[in-house]
Structure 1
Amino acid sequence: MDHDLAAPDGPGGVRERIEVVYGELSPLERTVADFVLEHLSELATYSGAELAQEAGASKATVSRFFRRLGFPSFAQARAQARAQASALRARGVPLGGLPPQAGNAVAAHLAQDQRNLAALARDVEHVRLERAAQLLAGARRVLLLGWRNSYPVALHLREQLLQARAAVDVGPHPGQTVAEELTGLERRDALVVVAFRRRPPAVGRVLAAAREAEVPTVLLTDPTGRALGAQVEHCFTVPVDGPGAFDGYAAAMSLVTMLAEAVLARRGRAGRERIEQVGRVHARLGELE
């Protein structure tokens, strides 16, 4: 976890306030302070009584401690922590998580995946999907770019597209920059940028460079990247919310499958022949069971 982002850090946050007054705290207050510092990302989930019990202090000590920090009450400190955690989680920062007492974690994850898939179904129109597929099926070359958690999604789309057509690349490769990949792309080619939240600033610059070079571009992103869609011809917004600390990519992988299926259908006989050719080479090399 990025410690500089962990709620409720930052200006006026609990960590900062503790650091200012730590030397002035009583031994019991320091016990509470140490516990809070070790459980900052979970602070919003505690009641005052629960925090006192877990920290091994009285409710009065907890109340006095937060007043020393400048909060009228623990409730206000918790509200600030909850608001900061919510804002950071919306950006994809892995905070909190599902506590052991949350119940059936599997059910929670599946329920959220279903909500994400339902939202994707409402957003992805058949016509838009077909237009993007037509671009990817007919382009001279397809380049897919993805960073961080977006890279596996881009890689998976590349492996699916390779079944239907040749000349599909993915980047950036480890230890390499993007400029070499973008150089030479033109309007006969296609660029797919996978940019889910916590993406690097390079994404916007890549989209701008592709637009300047008149390279048709498909963007796969989440709602926080919707503004980037103004720079591309085809934009698909995919929810990646998870019930706990981490994002879920079930909807993203489903979109990849739909897009690859549509490309294969567009390729027609050429796509079927390539699948057969790939199958024969697999058999010759003995790569698959």
Structure 2
Amino acid sequence: MTTDGVEVGDRIDERIAARHDRLTPQEQRAAATLLEHLDDLATYRAAELAELAGVSKATMSRLFRSLGFEDFDQVREHLRGLRSTGEPRRADGAVDPAAIACVEQAAVQRAVEHPRTEEAITLIAEARRVVVVGWRNSYPVALHLREQLAQARDEVRIAPAPGQTLGEELTGLGRQDLVVVIGFRRRPAGFAAFLAEARSCAATVLLVGDPSAVSHAAHVDLWLECPLTSALAFDSYAAPMALVSVLADGVLARLGRAGSNRVRSITAAYERLDETE
């Protein structure tokens, strides 16, 4: 949607860049102040921003309208929308540790009580081979899952390896194999194509991601929705890491004596190699 040459879906900084040359000198000063304070804009009132910029409140209001916003409240709503997509934005006001802990607890509970967790555990425990895949912020979650699963069972690998590509990781997989894809928001371009390729090799595909990944759910065999919390500037991965623990614990329990024997063998190898304290 376009309003007076402004693409309404664009971020505020993109809107400013697109219209900068058409702004008056006063509006350009106001725009520069907006850009300087994007991270903490919610802590200001429109009049305070105008004062910081050295312009009138009317000039600041004209700038908002020129950028496609009705008023300053809509600007703040736009920035909150950016935060919900995973873009880091500082939280409004002072940090409230008790409130953050409450939000985290609720997210963890939602993650570990997912009704299809047992189904996921069965797939992981019974697969011939397991490939755990993750990019960007999802990679640490994927790596942690791989490390925990490797304690309980063999044939678990992480992809992509640093500096490597994915084609070779999928080649040779079949119906007895499982691809666990960790896909939290701000996924890379080509995410959907990877899921399609994984399905084409006949392997079972398990997708774990936040609600923004629901559009991919129809293209996998099992979808586990896991929330992220956004109380601070950067997403918290407490819930995904808790889910990893639940999945790994469930796999170890499902494998019984074979899993316990593997744990003991790994511990003995650590001791022989003097790898851990």
TM-score range, shorter chain: 0.7 to 0.9
Letter in 2 for 1:120: A
Q: 1:88 to 1:103 in 2, by over 3 A?
A: closer
Residue number in structure 2 paired with 1:233: 221
Residue number in structure 2 paired with 1:151: 139
> Does residue 110 in structure 1 map to residue 101 in structure 2?
yes
Matched-pair contact (CA < 8 Å) for 1:14–1:77: no
TM-align CA RMSD? 2.5
Residue number in structure 2 paired with 1:40: 38
Residue number in structure 2 paired with 1:246: 234
Residue number in structure 2 paired with 1:215: 203
> Does residue 194 in structure 1 map to residue 182 in structure 2?
yes
Letter in 2 for 1:8: I
Letter in 1 for 2:100: H
CA distance in 1, matches of 2:215, 2:60: 43
Q: 1:192 to 1:70 in 2, by over 3 A?
A: closer
Q: 1:72 to 1:9 in 2, by over 3 A?
A: closer
> Does residue 267 in structure 1 map to residue 271 in structure 2?
no
Matched-pair contact (CA < 8 Å) for 1:52–1:62: yes
- In the superposition, the TM-score normalised over structure 1's length comes to 0.84
Residue number in structure 1 paired with 2:13: 9
CA distance in 1, matches of 2:42, 2:17: 14
Provide runs of 4+ in structure 1 moved above 4 Å: none
Pairwise mapping of residues 161-172 of structure 1 onto structure 2 (< 5 A)?
161-172=149-160
Matched-pair contact (CA < 8 Å) for 1:195–1:225: yes
Aligned to 2:13, the other structure's residue is in SS state coil
Deviation per residue, 1:170-218 (Å, 9 max, x gap): 0111211110111111111111000000001322112111222220111
CA distance in 2, matches of 1:259, 1:66: 52
Q: 1:37 to 1:47 in 2, by over 3 A?
A: same
Letter in 2 for 1:32: A
Letter in 2 for 1:64: T
Aligned to 1:235, the other structure's residue is in SS state strand
CA distance in 2, matches of 1:36, 1:282: 55
Shift of 1:103: 4.1
Matching residue within 87, 100, 105 for 2:81: 87
Unaligned runs of 5+ in 2: 1-8
Matched-pair contact (CA < 8 Å) for 2:174–2:201: yes
Matching residue within 98, 123, 129 for 1:141: 129
Shift of 1:40: 2.9
Give the % identical residues: 42
Letter in 1 for 2:12: P
Unaligned runs of 5+ in 1: none
Matching residue within 110, 114, 119 for 1:131: 119
Q: How many residues align?
A: 269
Shift of 1:131: 2.0
Matched-pair contact (CA < 8 Å) for 2:133–2:142: yes
Aligned to 1:283, the other structure's residue is in SS state helix
CA distance in 2, matches of 1:205, 1:72: 38
- In the superposition, the TM-score normalised over structure 2's length comes to 0.87
